[in-house]
Structure 1
Amino acid sequence: MARKGSRKVRTGCLTCKIRKVKCDEGKPHCDRCVRTGRKCDGYATPEELGLVSVRPRQGFQGIETVDEGRALQFFCEIAGPFLSGATDPYFWTRLVMQFSNFEPAVRQSVVAISTLYEQVQADPEPKVRLQDSRLALRHYNAAIRELKSMDNQPLVLLVCVLFICIEFLQSNREAAIEHCKHGIAILEKIGPDVPWVKEYLVPVFRRLSVFPFFFGNDTTNFPNLVALESPSPASFSSFSDAHSMMDGTFSRTLQLVRQGDPYRLGTSRHEAVPLQLCAKQKEIKALLEQWQVLFDSFEERSMLAATPVTEHFQLGEDYMKKMSRVFLSVRHEVCRIWSEMAFTSDETAYDVYIDNFRRLIKKCISLIITLPEGAKITATSPKFIFETGFTPMLFFIAMKCRCLETRLEALRLMAVLGVPRENLWEVSTMQALGRRVVEIEHDIVLNDLYPPTDLSSAHPLPPDEMRVRDTWTESQASIKTTLRGHDICGRLAGFFVRTDEGEINLHTEFMDEREGAPRERIRPNNPYSASMKPDTSWAQMEPSVVV
């Protein structure tokens, strides 16, 4: 599909570039900023615009091996353009490739990413490992060695993003989270004063900042989000403005939820919530209300540029605008519910939002109904993207909406609207985890993920003592043998439930991730049993996947 609209202008004023809107390039101040009452920060110097302020430590000596050349070519043509999903691929296709020409650490990282991405694209189910690819392992180690001698902090930030991508591709949660924290700490130290860091890296780390809250265990070492904050705009002039503000609000919401863990799940459940946390909750509520006002008045005058992903699925501009609106609306409502329930230990309190959950699902279904005929998943469709899509929001709905029909529809939509792997979010794992929660709470067995009949009337809302508070999964899948001698691929999963005494305990079992797979018991000599037995209390082990 031909690219719609004009080419993106990258020579405009700094204010318009950061807002990702077209600049009229008026001098000394652009008319667009003046008309909207914004301060025009002027124009970057040629050195800043060309990124030549970062001096290469050595010249690019050319491709050393055929395999390396092939990996770089694959990144240019396939991996780089598709990593960004439906968002602007400029970061991967232009910025990263530009630095790879003269910075060895960037170039080595690109080769590792390309190699691992190709493995995932060939077969997304088995988890890729560096140990299985000598080429990726060699170049990742080389990039790490280069980074140790690097004193240019903005460049370190760029390489940090590439390292995070490498760990995402391997499903290495802990390593990816540590890189996220490290990058945010560097940003906090140096500040976003370098123009290209402010324009390209700060938004990336703002989106990455949610992962320590989603998947991290150490609540005492969460990243400081101050370095990622930016003033709220007076209005939205593009979808990029709306996404940027929502990204920051989403991170703050997740931070609040994790800070509320002790009062929702832990030993402080019967204590008063500190005033400081209540104040944060009110701030987030105000931000969400402000965002909604700006979004309601937003008129889609700006063009949405086509990306390799939207072209692959033949998604026109009208559909992309609708998808952006639905995505942002669903994310906003999930944030609102999440923040309001941050300190609530009674899971039945979520029932007041059932109609809200139903409306969100209807919005998602409307996307499928209006999907262009050519938008079909094929063998060449991307299996992995660096960005986050619909998967975590649909998982939240499947977890917290106790209307059986609605939550089953949310599970079904994951495979339709989600990419098999969205960074650390894996659709097959989230579907299996959500399916098991439904079985536990409704006391049913789902041999087929989507029953042909409406079961909602036969299965009323589960009582509070049946409801799963939170979930936990191992980051890596493994193979276990059933009593029937079948080898199944899955992972250890944990479910936080309330005991009769009111305590929160963690129950674990080996979870089969095959869709619609029959339930089979694991052999006793395996370390985990499929039966639900209390292993430990929440206070002893915190959830690593927050819902």
Structure 2
Amino acid sequence: MDGSSLCARQGKKAKKVKSGCRTCKIRKVKCDEGRPICSKCSSTGRICGGYGIWGGGETIFSQQQRLASEREVRMASRPPVVVFLPRSSLEERNGFEWFKCKTAPKLPGSFQSKFWSTLLHQASLAKPPVLQAVLALSAIHRGGHIGNQFCTVDYEEAALRHYGRAIKGLQPHFTDKSKSSCRIALIACAVFINLELLRGHFQTANTHLENGIRILQDMQLISEQADGVFRDTPGLGSTDTWIVEIFARFQLQSEIFRCGYEHELLLLELTEWSVSDAAPTAFTSLKQAWEALTPLLNQILRLVSLARQQAHRQPDFQISEQMLQTQYRIQKGLASWRRTSEFLKREMFGDEKRAFHLLIAYHTLANIMLDTALDPNTELIYDTQTTKFQELMRQLTELHDESLEHAGPKTVPNYQMDMERSVTDIGWVAMLYYTVTKCRVPAVRAEAIKLLESRFHREGMWDSKVMACVARKVVDLEEADFYKDTGKLRRPTQDGLEHTLEENLPPLPNSHRLREVEVILSGAPMDTIMLFGKSQHDEFENRVLFSEYHMQSGCWIDSSIDSRVSGGYVEMV
């Protein structure tokens, strides 16, 4: 266009452009009309308004997430690839097929990793001991599905047979102790942990976990850093990184399980998860969000442990300036994580939607744990978190309703665990149990117990049926006869604890509250639940055994009064 033409057009009102996305029209910029979103919006991080009923509603981050989801759907819709197992029986081929289609996609829960989707499949085809371990895990998982109850014994026998073959096949690798042999042992060890968790052999699973972490240290795949956290050694290959990652997830749930009492802390995470100043402006996947939240949870667990140790050593414990600064830094990290997670809010369905809500609930739990971390000497500090506990219960109730909508209610026999809903990663059971033992608002406690008892599945070390039983016992020991005189608040029923919505009820005194509650799941299979802790009545703060639950008799035996307590409160039915 020449200069005269340009001058001739000056002063005239430009024609209104009718094409282009809504966002570009509002901004009065030229739109390239890319589909489903224009690059003008995506390149600047804006939400594209779309073109009428077509496209739009995405940023560059949500577009990446949508495309990733579409790829996953395409992969899931493909017919299964038949894998040839040399010198294998029909039972072994069927077992491996079940593992690929059912076990591997389900057990990781909300945290998907390459260990499950890639490494374990490859190792199973290349290393017979790993294959036998996988077949044992597959048999246990398959035998616990509803509809297979009459074949459970057969699957258990198959699992033990493959388990024995795996152990026998690993013997040369234990002797060799080369890096290659140690990797095989670590992969099999991770499978054994999953296997024992599903079987309810929690002590055995912990033994495998401790042995696996010891091998990681011996191989120098991990080392302790200045902040007390074990991290992967720089320069690890993808195989070793995936192995460290799976053990880091197991160790995280182990520490959350034990966070209520003093113990030797061991934190493990990948270096790439570590909190940095160059945090992403948006998470591109749920896994990335989990990876960013894990270091924050580890920092909280460490702060809780340090405060508890100092309080035990110093009766006149005073919060140090360094601890306050650490708490403030973690608070900023949690706030940043929450803002960043907003970009994951898009139209989600099924497992992805539930995984997102589970993440947000763990963020709420992390804030409660952080806010109470520096007051280890009093349980009254948790009364300041009532609003957050109520918000946590709202989130978990929503998660429960979504699960019902997706899968529907199911009747599970008393003697059977629901493997279809069981995972080996952390889920909602840990948060519900924490709520019962730390929030002393009766109505909130009752709702948490109700949700615990609405499922019969396992989430790693967290058994919903067991933790509901323990939660009821903790409430029974703490409240005892405190609310009995009102005649309005609490009474034993066959269906559970009933609570009124009456306001202005007196708070449970600190002297009635249990501290540092520890649960030991004894036996393989588990046959006894031991409940330890400290009572505010004991001026010497001794750790005592409050009660034992015997699976065979189905009742608690209190150590202090040696009386059997059964019925609606504490019997696990």
TM-score when normalising by structure 2: 0.66
- 1:295 maps to 341
- Which residue in 2 is equivalent to 1:12? none
Q: How far apart are the structure 1 equivalents of 2:409 and 2:237?
A: 38
Relative distance call for 1:420 and 1:513 in structure 2 (3 A) is farther
Partner SS state of residue 432, structure 1: helix
- Write the distance in 1 (CA, Å) between the matches of 2:561 and 2:120: 44
Structure 2 counterpart of 1:323: 354
Identity of paired residues, percent?
19
Provide the residue aligned with 2:120 in structure 1: 96
Residues 278 and 219 of structure 1: CA distance in aligned 2, closer, same or farther (over 3 Å):
farther
Matched to 1:268, the amino acid is Q
Question: Per-residue CA shift, 1:384-430, capped at 9, x if unaligned?
Answer: 312111110111111111100101111212244x6611111111111
Matches within 5 A, 1:415-454: 415-416=453-454, 420-443=457-480, 446-448=492-494, 450-454=496-500
Query: 1:69-88 maps to which residues of 2 (within 5 A)?
Result: 69-88=93-112
Cα displacement (A) at 1:156: 5.1
Greater shift in the superposed pair: 405-414 or 322-331: 322-331
Is 1:141 aligned with 2:167?
Answer: yes
* Residue number in structure 2 paired with 1:541: none
- Given that 2:424 and 2:459 are in contact with CA atoms closer than 8 Å, whether structure 1 keeps it comes out as yes
Query: Could you list the per-position Cα deviations for residues 324-371 of structure 1 after superposition, in whole angstroms to 9, with x for gaps in the alignment?
Result: 343222211211221222231111111011111112212222334455
Which of 111, 120, 130 is the equivalent residue of 2:135?
111
Contact 2:534–2:543 (8 Å) recurs in 1: yes
Q: Which residue of 2 aligns with 1:333?
A: 364
Per the alignment, residue 356 of structure 1 pairs with 388
Asked whether the equivalents of residues 511 and 536 of structure 2 are also in contact (C-alpha less than 8 Å), the reply is: yes
Q: Name the structure 1 match of 2:190.
A: 161
1:406 corresponds to 2:444: yes
Counterpart AA for 1:364: L
Partner AA of 1:337 in structure 2: I
Distance 2:270 2:287 in 1: 21
Alpha-carbon contact 1:242-1:295 (below 8 Å) kept:
yes
CA deviation after TM superposition for structure 1 residue 117, in Å: 2.7
When residues 520 and 204 of structure 1 are mapped into structure 2, their CA distance, relative to the original with a 3 A threshold, is: closer
Query: How is 1:40-51 mapped onto 2 (pairs within 5 angstroms)?
Result: none
- Which residues in structure 2 correspond to 1:140-219 (within 5 Å)? 140-148=166-174, 149=176, 150-152=178-180, 157-169=186-198, 170-171=201-202, 172-179=204-211, 181-182=213-214, 185=217, 186-188=220-222, 191=233, 193-197=235-239, 200-215=242-257, 219=263
- 1:237-386 to structure 2, matched below 5 A, reads 237-263=284-310, 266-273=312-319, 277-296=323-342, 298-300=343-345, 317-318=348-349, 320=351, 322-344=353-375, 345-369=377-401, 373=405, 375-378=407-410, 382-386=420-424
The 5-angstrom pairing of residues 439-478 of structure 1 reads 439-443=476-480, 446-448=492-494, 450-454=496-500, 460-476=506-522
Cα distance 1:282–1:86, how it changes in 2: closer, same or farther (>3 A)?
closer
Shift of the alpha carbon at 1:97? 1.4
What one-letter code is carried by the residue in structure 1 that aligns with 2:467?
Answer: M
Give matches, 1:485-524, under 5 Å: 490-501=528-539, 503-511=541-549
The answer to whether the 8 A contact 1:495-1:506 is kept is yes
Indicate conservation of the 8 Å contact 1:116/1:136, yes or no: no
1:153-212 Cα offsets, whole Å, 9 max, x none, are 655543442232233233224314304533653432562634534774454333223244
- Pick closer, same or farther for the CA change 1:513–1:352 going to 2, 3 Å: farther
Amino acid paired to 1:209: Q
CA shift for structure 1 position 132: 9.6
8 A Cα contact 2:265 2:302, kept in partner: no
Letter in 2 for 1:113: L
Map of 1:391 onto structure 2 = 429
Contact 2:142/2:155 (<8 A) preserved: no
State how far apart, in whole Å, the 2-side matches of 1:421 and 1:249 are.
Answer: 25
SS at match of 2:533: strand
Query: Displacement of 1:66 after TM fit?
Result: 5.2
Separation (CA, whole Å) in 2 of partners of 1:36 and 1:133: 47
* Cα-to-partner distance string for 1:218-267 (whole Å, 9 max, x where unaligned): 94462455757435432223323222211222233223323333245x34
Secondary structure of the corresponding residue to residue 210 of structure 1: helix
Give me the whole-angstrom Cα distance separating, in 2, the residues matched to 1:223 and 1:530: 40
| 1:300 CA drift (Å) | 3.6
- Whether contact under 8 Å (1:105, 1:143) holds in the other structure is yes
Counterpart residue type for residue 363 of structure 1: Q
Report how far residue 461 of structure 1 moved: 1.9
Amino acid at match of 1:163: F
Q: Name which one, 1 or 2, has greater alpha-carbon Rg.
A: 2
Equivalent AA in structure 1 for residue 109 of structure 2: G
Conserved? CA contact 1:100–1:110, under 8 Å: yes
8 Å Cα contact 2:112-2:287 kept in structure 1: no
Summarize the Cα distance change of 1:520–1:142 in structure 2 as closer, same or farther, 3 Å threshold: closer
- C-alpha spacing 1:104/1:370, structure 2 compared with 1 (3 Å): closer
Cα offset for 1:383?
5.0
Unaligned runs of 5+ in 1: 1-30, 38-59, 304-316, 481-488, 533-547
| Structure 2, unpaired ranges of 5+ | 1-42, 46-58, 62-83, 224-231, 413-417, 482-490, 566-573
Q: Secondary structure at the match of 1:475?
A: strand
Q: What is the distance in 2 between the residues matched to 1:83 and 1:222?
A: 24
Secondary structure of 1:510's partner?
A: strand
Q: Scaled by the length of structure 1, what TM-score is found?
A: 0.69
1: CA distance, partners of 2:432 / 2:397: 12
Taking the aligned partners of 1:318 and 1:201, their CA distance within structure 2 comes to 30
Q: CA deviation at 1:498?
A: 1.6
Q: Secondary structure at the match of 1:384?
A: coil
